A = this chain, B = another copy of it.
Amino acid sequence: MDHATINLDARARTLLRTLIESYIRDGQPVGSRTLARTSGLSVSAATVRNVMADLEDMGLIHSPHTSAGRIPTPAGYRLFVDSLLEVRNPSPDEVRAIQSGFDPNASTQDLMDTTSNLLSRVTRMAGMVRLPRHRNVALSQIEFLRLGEGRILAILVIDGKEVQNRVLELERDFGQDELQRMANYLNAHLAGKSLHAVRAELLREMRDVRDDLDAMMLAAIDLGEKAVGDEDPDDVVVAGQTHLLGYEELADMERLRQLLEAFNEKQEILGILDQCIRSDRVQIFIGRESGLDWFENCSVVTAPYSVDGEVVGVLGVIGPTRMSYDRVIPIVDVTARLLGSALGEQPPGDPK
List chain A positions with a Cβ less than 8 A from chain B: 140-141, 143, 145, 147-149, 151, 153, 155, 157, 160-161, 163, 165, 167, 239, 241-242, 245-246, 251, 253, 256-257, 260-261, 264, 348-352
Contacts and interface: CB of A to CB of B under 8 A. Distances in A.
A218 to B, nearest CB: 24
CB-based closest 7 A-B pairs:
A148-B350, A245-B257, A242-B260, A242-B257, A242-B261, A245-B253, A163-B165
6 contacts: A143-B143, A148-B348, A148-B350, A149-B350, A242-B261, A242-B264
A144 to B, nearest CB: 10
A146 B299 CA distance: 46
A74 to B, nearest CB: 25
Contacts of A245: 253, 256-257, 260
Contacts of A348: 148-149, 151
A246 B241 contact: no
A165 B109 CA distance: 14
B242 A147 contact: no
B165 A145 contact: no
How many protomers of this protein does the assembly include? 2
Chain A binding surface, main DSSP class = mixed
Contacts of A160: 147-148
A147 B161 CA distance: 7
A148 B352 CA distance: 8
Contacts of A351: 148-149
A220 to B, nearest CB: 18
Of the candidates A140, A239, A245, A350, the one having the most CB atoms from chain B within 10 angstroms of its own CB is A245
Most chain B beta-carbon neighbours within 10 Å: one of A140, A251, A352: A352
Contacts of A242: 257, 260-261, 264
A349 B150 CA distance: 11
Contacts of A239: 264
A308 to B, nearest CB: 21
A140 B242 CA distance: 42
A244 to B, nearest CB: 9
Nearest to A347: B148
Nearest to A141: B145
Contacts of A352: 148
Given A149-B348, A157-B145, A348-B148, A246 B251 contact: no
